[in-house]
Chains A and B, each alone.
Chain A
Amino acid sequence: MALAATESGLNRVGFNQPEASFFAQLDRMARTERDPRAIAEIAGQLAEYFAGRRTVFDLALDWGGVGAFQRRALEAALSIPFGQTFTYQQVAQAIGKPKSSRAVGQAMARNPIPVVVPCHRVLGSDGSLHGYAGGLERKAILLKLEGAM
């Protein structure tokens, strides 16, 4: 898993993608520097999450590059507790756009901070996993880890 953070907070989480693809998602007007110490807190919380010892992340997020609608949808996903799931339709209703479930799905599919922003907790209205940028298998792993499947 690749993690990238600005001074404002965690900006990108990438997995299952080539390095060039990950860097292409970052701000092209920014310098990049590999710095494990700067990422240590984020990496530590993720390690606790995957070990089943953390259910809530306490991390600053940098929403740079995320549009207003997508941010609202992702912030709604942030409010879904560990181990619970919502549907795209429920998220659309929660953000006051009840007819935008398809757009919510696209917003989740393009989530730049997966796992920490738990778009994996959002399912189709029939309970199906639907799309996940990291692949449906990974979405299932995360839901199983949280006891939601």
Chain B
Amino acid sequence: MKTNRVITLQDALGSPSNAALHESRRVVDGWFEQAAPLIRWDRVETPIGPGGD
């Protein structure tokens, strides 16, 4: 009897090495620090109540 098995990327390629994962995360973190937009925020008290508590 045939079974349909889903081949995942992990099945086909194997898991990346820890070194590759570390490098990938380093690149993403670097982009985030240098290129991602910055949102500045704060909380203030008003008669209609606080927010972001």
Give the number of chain B interface residues (Cβ < 8 Å): 20
Q: Is A93 an interface residue (CB 8 A)?
A: no
Given the contacts A16-B51, A22-B51, A50-B47, A4 and B41 also touching, CB distance less than 8 Å: yes
Q: Is A31 an interface residue (CB 8 A)?
A: yes
CB distance from B34 to the nearest CB of A (A): 10
Give the number of chain A interface residues (Cβ < 8 Å): 40
Chain B neighbourhood of A14, CB < 8 A? 51-52
CB distance from B40 to the nearest CB of A (A): 4
Contact of A19 among B32, B37, B40, B53 (CB under 8 A): B53
Chain B contact surface mostly: loop
Taken together as a complex, chains A and B put the C-alpha atoms of A38 and B44 apart, in Å, by 13
Q: Is A67 an interface residue (CB 8 A)?
A: no
Chain B neighbourhood of A33, CB < 8 A? 38-41
CB distance from A49 to the nearest CB of B (A): 9
